[in-house]
Structure 1
Amino acid sequence: MVKPWVDRLEEMTTIQSWIDDSNVNLLGIVGLGGMGKSALAAYFYNNFSTHQKFWADVSLNPDFAAFAESIIKGLSGTVNATGDVNILIADLFKILHQNPCLLVVDNVETLLDESGEWQNENYASFFQRWKQQGHTSILLLTTRDKPNLYRGDNYWYSLGRFTVDEGKTLLKALQIEGSDQDLGNLVTKIDGHALTLRLVAAYLREYCDSQLSQITELGLDEFELIYNEASGLHRNKTDAQLSWILEQHLDRLSEKQRQFLVNLSVYRQPFDVTAATRMYINANLVEGETEEPIKPIEVKKELQNLFNRSLLSRSNKKGYDCPLLLKPYLQKKYPDLTNCHQIAINYYSSIVPPPPWTNLDEIQGYLEIFYHYYQLAEYDEALDYLHYIDEFMNLQGYYDLRVKYYSDLVTVYEEIDDKNNWKYPASLGSLGNAYDSLGQYQEAIEYHQQSLAITIDIGNRNGEAYSYIGLGNVYQSLRQYQEEIEYYQQSLNIFIEIGDRNGEANTWFNLGNTFKKLNRKSEAKECYQNSRQLSQAMGLDRDVQECNNQLIKLQRGWLEKSFYFILAVIKFPFALVVFVLLVIWRWIKSVISKQ
């Protein structure tokens, strides 16, 4: 029976089923350093009571003879020929065959070279023989890098991060206090990394009275806290930090492999081989060389290599992903990623579908283009792409998403204080529109007023008109129609003044809708007719048809009311006769009943 252990129930259940399977004699746990591989293996080791067991830690890369002798002695065997490797291997397999046991070999990556092969031929011989011959004992390996010998084998568990809920549970168990949202945000930033959660919790207990809120109050840099400040015992190192763990992984890569990984880290979403190929070409292109065709299988092998080294994860949706924990570290260590972001923009530009769209997945590529332009500090281009999909996001109800992205833009425009750039107030207005759709009307009004003030200050009459429209729309949502009309009329005056016929036509139409709601039909009719006239002059057939539809509805409403009035007049005499007859009948009936 598997007992719950640090919320790793799924992992424990799977690995336990492999241990219980008589056909399985070798299994492995692979994952990023600090994910809890050794701790998980220790759980099975401590609960393995049926047979003998032995734990071999090879983190210091011991001589194979010392490794073999320690196992033989640990399993109550006799070392017959000290130092003779061939005899040691034979004796080791003999005792493992005669006395079925669990043999855990921890930190196997230290026995491997950069390519994933065994550094020592004696270790290679031992593990190859185990793989070829099979055994009655069980060999459990933990490693950061999956050995080439076992690539493609089953019964290897890729140990991932804690979920947000699991991470919050762990932080609470470690006595860290904070709101559920704040705890969840911290788990997300740490990417559910088991060791770092514990190290950060220890730091908070020591310096922040276990209060998560003190990170901000004490002015701590979150990146420095997570990657460098929080430290503790790991792998015989008493002051292990997350940055140290990640550097150990990166040091095992070649220069081109490292550059490929850095390039891939700019992708915010999971990526396939095609997207990875763009970054692979860039990582392998030497200055002065021309691009040569690269076979997809070459890129696939490199991706799988990084995956086997726990530096990429597999995504159910689309190929691979760079761990969230690794991305900020790589991007801070290698900050010059301009070319990579441009490559990502070119890639997404080549695959995004044109409208019409039906769901968020179909516009995700546009959001990624926005993100990469944002990372390049090309905020105007980022705003253009966001505006391109804004109407769809609004119609589909992605209000929170609109608020998030427009808020990001407003923040950076405020930081660079580029008030002469008309796109700054445009982003404020768009954020106001997003809050209006979300039903947060006070915030919407505030942002539209900020936009209005800036457009007036820089003399942007067109932007000023659209700020009035934004305010009018908010007051329409609030059903304060007189204020709505006043703002629309101010925008209309500006559009007429600057000769913006499209803006004028749209504003006439908006006024028509408002007057229609107020049952001021003659004014509504005049507005729709003005809008139709302008739309006809601009050749906007669709807008002309919409104006005609509204005029027909106005006319239809008058005709329907006239019809019902006439019908009532016609039917009134008949109804009166029926009513009189009914009264007479009831009177006669009452007289008869009295007699």
Structure 2
Amino acid sequence: MTTLRASKQGLTKIKQAREKKGWPVADRNWLEAASLCLGVNWEKTGYLAEGISEGTWSRFLAGKRSINASAFQAYSAVLGLNWEEVVNGIQGQDWGDAPDLPSFYGRAEELAKLKQWIVKDKCRLVAILGMGGIGKTALAVRSAEDIQNEFKYLIWRSLRASPPVEEVLADLIRFFSNDKKTALTDNTDKMVKQLIDYLRQHRCLVVLDEMEAILSSGKLAGHYREGYQDYSKLLREVGEVKHNSCFVLTSWENPKIMASLAEKTKFVQYLKLTGLKDIDAQEILTEKGLSDRETWGTLNQLYGGNPLSLKIVSITIKDFFNGSVAKFLEAGTIVIGDISEVLDRQFDRLTDLEKQIVRQLATNVTPKSLPQLAEILSPPGAKSELIEALESLERRSLIEKITGGSEVMFTLQPVVMKYIQKVSKISSLHL
């Protein structure tokens, strides 16, 4: 499907034409008039033309995302503009099911780092990592929107449904060939090489979101599920072979191939996303209408700066504590509803040894060193296995390391600690 978006100069013309028309941005007339341009009369049919919606209208006005070409042309016609005079010359965008961002909080440093890696350093493979709800997908969307003009092609694909690598490769090849009838082989190695040829010909940005869906549960972090090992071939070629493009991945945990590639070449990087700073978390809490601003820093630290957790708990604070953060903190119950569901999914992936470690860290509360953990784990395991499990938990962003003293200490975020204490009591995870 051909998609279009406005250029920077085109956005100025669109704004001027809209203001001249005099209709408010949210006026239904925009949609009905655009639908009529495409031959569908709302008053007679009761529905709008395909591609005409509040979402496409808002994206047309913002100019950050491309939209269906027919919708773009219809909106331009309603404004009395020649669509060819407002369109961005950069084509070849497919945002797939990338979410729209109604709001975005902080992350200025992270955005700058990604731009440095992708645009200036010409990295070929970049991963954004972190626990559920920390904002990986949102950061990937904002980053892609900010740097899209640097690329001739941009494509976003979610791996949530765990597609085989051959399906993803075929999809990418068809996209970069502009849907021409391209001969596709069923040989993964040949398909990867065919894709690399396109990545060399043009500067392309590929985002693969939710990569944890193809990684294994019950094993140390970063191992592929059975039948998905060929994704490693794709990442290796993208990271090692010289080309002009960039793959961006988001994942709860780092695929093992990423660490070894990052050691070999400067063109592979990964960003471990941590929680929001207090000042950025304040934007969420202000938006949610909470009170007791002096306690907001405590609330943010309690939830590790996790944006999703803060949004979820804000609803509970409004519904049961009349918006008072202070009263909520006094109550002492911090793991609730959807937050538990998010953590359930991550903790289901742990090995037995990883589950023992997090239970001990949650039960004993105070940070523990490697020798201390080796003493209290039952049955005592080899220290090498313990180190592997701790490294895996760190790759999953579920433990925190405290350095600076005579020994490295390990602990959990407060909300993770409370969660483990809760599920240990009811044995829902058989910890």
Are 1:162 and 2:276 matched, yes or no?
yes
Partner of 1:72: 173
Partner of 1:150: 258
Cα shift readout 1:500-544 (whole Å, capped 9, x = no counterpart): xxxxxxxxxxxxxxxxxxxxxxxxxxxxxxxxxxxxxxxxxxxxx
Alignment of 1:434-453 (within 5 A): none
Are 1:312 and 2:312 matched, yes or no?
no
Partner of 2:48: none
Partner of 2:311: 198
The CA deviation at 1:107 is 0.9
Over 3 Å counting, the alpha-carbon distance change for 1:299 and 1:6 in structure 2 is same
Partner of 2:36: none
Over 3 Å counting, the alpha-carbon distance change for 1:205 and 1:15 in structure 2 is same
CA separation in 2, counterparts of 1:187 and 1:92? 43
Alignment of 1:29-44 (within 5 A): 29-44=128-143
CA separation in 1, counterparts of 2:412 and 2:170? 41
CA separation in 2, counterparts of 1:102 and 1:210? 42
Alignment of 1:493-508 (within 5 A): none
Match of 1:265, SS?
helix
Match of 2:230, SS?
helix
Alignment of 1:50-61 (within 5 A): 50-51=150-151, 52-61=153-162
Partner of 1:431: none
Moved more, 306-315 or 263-272: 263-272
CA separation in 2, counterparts of 1:206 and 1:16? 40
Partner of 2:114: 15
Paired AA for residue 321 in structure 1: T
Moved more, 108-117 or 50-59: 108-117
Native 8 Å contact 1:30 1:146 kept in 2: yes
Paired AA for residue 148 in structure 1: K
Over 3 Å counting, the alpha-carbon distance change for 1:117 and 1:168 in structure 2 is same
The CA deviation at 1:329 is 0.6
User: Gaps (5+ residues) in structure 1?
Assistant: 230-240, 286-290, 338-595
The CA deviation at 1:253 is 1.2
Match of 2:397, SS?
coil
Match of 1:27, SS?
strand
Match of 1:201, SS?
helix
The CA deviation at 1:81 is 1.7
CA separation in 1, counterparts of 2:132 and 2:109? 20
Instruction: Select the residue among 118, 121, 127 that pairs with 2:224.
Output: 118
CA separation in 1, counterparts of 2:367 and 2:112? 28
Paired AA for residue 248 in structure 1: R
CA separation in 1, counterparts of 2:129 and 2:165? 22
Partner of 2:237: 129
The CA deviation at 1:39 is 0.5
CA separation in 2, counterparts of 1:325 and 1:30? 19
Over 3 Å counting, the alpha-carbon distance change for 1:44 and 1:6 in structure 2 is same
Alignment of 1:96-495 (within 5 A): 96-113=199-216, 114-115=219-220, 116-119=222-225, 120-151=228-259, 153=262, 155-172=269-286, 174-205=287-318, 210-212=323-325, 215=328, 223=333, 226-229=334-337, 241-279=338-376, 282-283=377-378, 285=379, 294-295=382-383, 297-317=384-404, 318-335=408-425
Cα shift readout 1:458-517 (whole Å, capped 9, x = no counterpart): xxxxxxxxxxxxxxxxxxxxxxxxxxxxxxxxxxxxxxxxxxxxxxxxxxxxxxxxxxxx
Native 8 Å contact 1:176 1:211 kept in 2: no
Native 8 Å contact 1:55 1:103 kept in 2: yes
The CA deviation at 1:66 is 2.1
CA separation in 2, counterparts of 1:58 and 1:77? 21
CA separation in 2, counterparts of 1:227 and 1:74? 43
CA separation in 2, counterparts of 1:32 and 1:268? 21
User: Gaps (5+ residues) in structure 2?
Assistant: 1-102, 264-268
Paired AA for residue 301 in structure 1: E
Match of 2:254, SS?
coil
Length-normalised TM-score, structure 2: 0.64
CA separation in 2, counterparts of 1:313 and 1:213? 26
Q: RMSD of aligned C-alpha atoms?
A: 2.9
Give the total of aligned pairs.
Answer: 307
Identity of aligned residues (%): 20
Native 8 Å contact 1:56 1:71 kept in 2: no
The CA deviation at 1:106 is 0.8
Cα shift readout 1:57-103 (whole Å, capped 9, x = no counterpart): 10110122221122223333544226553443232221112111111
Native 8 Å contact 2:277 2:305 kept in 1: yes
Match of 1:178, SS?
coil
Match of 1:70, SS?
helix
Cα shift readout 1:37-56 (whole Å, capped 9, x = no counterpart): 01001111111211121111
CA separation in 2, counterparts of 1:82 and 1:209? 61
Match of 2:154, SS?
strand
Over 3 Å counting, the alpha-carbon distance change for 1:300 and 1:86 in structure 2 is closer
Native 8 Å contact 1:58 1:105 kept in 2: yes
Native 8 Å contact 1:145 1:309 kept in 2: yes
Native 8 Å contact 2:160 2:210 kept in 1: yes
CA separation in 1, counterparts of 2:235 and 2:167? 16
Partner of 2:125: 26
CA separation in 2, counterparts of 1:251 and 1:261? 13
CA separation in 2, counterparts of 1:45 and 1:137? 13
Length-normalised TM-score, structure 1: 0.47
CA separation in 2, counterparts of 1:162 and 1:270? 23
CA separation in 2, counterparts of 1:178 and 1:254? 41
Structure exhibiting the larger radius of gyration computed from Cα positions: 1
Paired AA for residue 50 in structure 1: E
Match of 2:208, SS?
strand
Match of 1:261, SS?
helix
